[in-house]
Structures are given as C-alpha cells and as structure tokens.
Amino acid sequence: MDKIIGIYFCETAIVDSRTNQLSLISIFEELALPALPAVLAKISLVIILENGNPHVSDSEDTPITIEIYNNDKKLYEQHSRIKYLGKTYARLIMQLNGLPIREVGQLTITTKTSSSTEKKELPIKLLS
C-alpha cells in the first residue's frame, strides 16, 4: 500500500545531481496576494510517496492523480505514474506555470493513489 508522506508547495525544488538530496526553496504555508484575481506565475509541487509493497518490481508503476482546487473550483488535474526503481520512496516534482487564483479561502491539493488519498490546504488571503 503506497503512502503519501509529504506534499509541498514551494517556489523552487532542486535535486542535487551528485547526492540526490532535495532542497525546497520558499515553501508556501499560505498565499498572501496583493489583489484578486491573481496568477501564480511559477510554483513547484513536490509529492513524496513511500512504497508500502516491498515486492513491487522496478518495472511496475503506481498511478497517481493530482487535483488542485481554489475553494470548490478545480484549477488543475494531472494523471501520472510513479516508479520506485528499487527504492522505498519516490518523488514527483511538478512545475506549474500560470495557476489562476480567483478567490480568498483555501488552495487545496489532493493527491490520490490506488490505496491512499491525502489533502494539503493552504490559506489564501489578501495583503492589507
């Protein structure tokens, strides 16, 4: 059973080619915007999954669906597949360009695998 162990929304995600270490730059805990509607020009979404089945072969992959909502309005949906390649975890790093934000409230990222669903919410507010 796959387990989602982290969902991060940040400005930039960097993977060191020598050490394979992941650096998340400017992690968003909330979005403070000067006015609405707004467009988030460049944002990285990082999802880390743990392989709950040690018998999965390197050739097998896990389907994953990512949905992003502004309150109840769906902004984005992506279907993808993840391979563990002999590791106990896998990373999915996506760069989103031009994500529209139309309302204050919540930005919700929902990540679904065949055995796990996880949500992360970020408050959206206007700068005063």
pLDDT band for position 60 (cuts 50, 70, 90): confident
Question: Which of 51-55, 76-80, 107-111 is most confident?
Answer: 76-80
In this prediction, residue 45 carries a pLDDT of 93
The tens digit of pLDDT for each residue in 76-99 reads 999 998 888 888 889 999 999 999
pLDDT band for position 54 (cuts 50, 70, 90): low
8 A C-beta contact, residue 49 and residue 81: no
User: CA 103 to CA 6: how far, in whole Å?
Assistant: 26
User: CA 84 to CA 48: how far, in whole Å?
Assistant: 11
Closest CA to 82 of 57, 66, 109, 64: 64
In this prediction, residue 6 carries a pLDDT of 87
Q: Please tell me which residue, 116 or 128, carries the higher pLDDT value.
A: 116
pLDDT average, residue stretch 43-68: 83
> Tokens in use for 18?
């020598």
pLDDT value at 58 more than 90: no
Q: How far apart are the first and last CA of the chain?
A: 45
Q: Which DSSP helix (H) or strand (E) runs through 114?
A: none
Could you give the domains of the chain?
3-126 (2.60.40.1930)
Q: Distance of alpha carbon 116 from its chain centroid, rounded?
A: 14
Average pLDDT, the chain: 88
pLDDT average, residue stretch 58-69: 85
8 A C-beta contact, residue 52 and residue 1: yes
In this prediction, residue 85 carries a pLDDT of 83
In this prediction, residue 122 carries a pLDDT of 85
